[in-house]
Amino acid sequence: MSNLAVPVSSSGSMLLGVMGDPIAHSKSPVMHQAALRQTGIPGDYVRLHITADQLGEAILSIRTLGFRGVNVTVPHKVKVMAFLDEIDPAAAAVGAVNTIVNNNGRLTGYNTDGIGYIRSLKEEAVPELSGKTVVVLGAGGAARGVIHALLTEGPRTVIVANRTKETASKLCEEWQKLGSLEACSLEELSEWVPQADVVINTTSVGMSPRIEESPLDTSLLPGGTVVSDLIYNPLKTRLLREAELRGCRIHSGLGMFVYQGAYAFEYWTGQPAPIPAMRNAVLEQLDGQE
């Protein structure tokens, strides 16, 4: 992989960026700049504040300006798909794109959120997911990426619990051929959480500044359960703090953020991503915030 020529633009450097609205607080630039520095690839990764009405023009300009690729974040992950030449099948199934690769003017969209999350979960908490019973709290955009990637690991059952049960039911029906899926409401969680090997929060409940909220009654958790939260600000949410006190193994969303970026970096550069440098760069930013 590392022997491949790095696809820099005709200017001799690799242009990368992130499009979103708002974008000022994105930690992607600091993470990818650290990755470029660490790998010695000449280039830059810039913040691009793009509003919904500018999205089509902004995507066209990727080719004109010679960007090798961009990340796409809130609120453009779904709408951006209409402007691309090709969509990776997994991103098409999830229904969202967070990474675009420009191959000589041909734009391909990928979704690295779900695969990034699973890589992080396996490396940091649960090396083997096959045969496991997994409860996923939430059925929104992030949940779709996580559940789609999770189903490729052969879990015994995935229980999707959502405030609006209908959204969970629709998701389970859509992907019933991919594995064993069960929908439930948040009220029905008492039935499922005690038998779960892994519980994953994909809702925004507990995210800064509302850090005293929790998506789950943690008295339902037996010690030994792995409890994972996609939120990384704060690094230890109330859910994770309480789960840890109950003897559960905890896993934060920082790894997901780092690994979704690592996959994107690998798609753009053809080089292995320097994970520790990327993680440290984000951690330094998070520390600086407190």
User: Considering the rule CB under 6 A, would residue 113 count as an interface residue with ligand NAP?
Assistant: yes
User: Considering the rule CB under 6 A, would residue 230 count as an interface residue with ligand NAP?
Assistant: yes
State which residue, 155 or 206, has the beta carbon closest to ligand NAP: 206
State which residue, 129 or 216, has the beta carbon closest to ligand NAP: 216
Least separation in angstroms between residue 167's CB and ligand NAP is: 5
From 103-111, 125-133, 218-226, 228-236, give the range in contact with ligand NAP by CB under 6 A. 228-236
Encoded one letter per residue, x for contact with ligand NAP by CB under 6 A and - for no contact, window 156-185 reads ------xxx--x------------------
* Cβ neighbours of residue 39 closer than 8 Å, sequence gap 6 or more: 269, 271, 274
Q: Which residue has the tokens 């995507």?
A: 59
From 2-10, 27-35, 51-59, 198-206, give the range in contact with ligand NAP by CB under 6 A. 198-206
| Calpha distance 170→80 (Å, rounded) | 23
DSSP, collapsed to helix, strand or coil, labels residue 156 as coil
Tell me the CA distances in angstroms from 137 to 29, 54, 93, 161, 226, one per residue in order.
29, 33, 20, 5, 14
User: Considering the rule CB under 6 A, would residue 231 count as an interface residue with ligand NAP?
Assistant: yes
- In the bound state, the residue with its beta carbon closest to ligand NAP is 140
State which residue, 4 or 287, has the beta carbon closest to ligand NAP: 287
Residue 122 annotated among the catalytic residues of the structure:
no
* Cβ atoms of residues 180 and 131 within 8 Å: no
Q: Site for ligand NAP (CB under 6 A): how many residues? A: 24
* Cβ neighbours of residue 28 closer than 8 Å, sequence gap 6 or more: 18, 45, 47, 71, 73, 261
Residue type, 129: L
State which residue, 36 or 143, has the beta carbon closest to ligand NAP: 143
Residue 131 burial (CB count, 10 A): 11
User: Considering the rule CB under 6 A, would residue 95 count as an interface residue with ligand NAP?
Assistant: no
Least separation in angstroms between residue 144's CB and ligand NAP is: 8
State which residue, 134 or 256, has the beta carbon closest to ligand NAP: 256
77, 79, 132, 177: which is the annotated catalytic residue?
77
User: Considering the rule CB under 6 A, would residue 121 count as an interface residue with ligand NAP?
Assistant: no
State which residue, 9 or 204, has the beta carbon closest to ligand NAP: 204
Residue 170 burial (CB count, 10 A): 15
- Contact residue for ligand NAP among 45, 67, 192, 257 (CB under 6 A): 257
Residue type, 209: P
Catalytic residues: 77
| Binding residues for ligand NAP (CB under 6 A) | 113, 138-143, 162-164, 167, 202-205, 207, 215, 230-232, 253, 256-257, 260
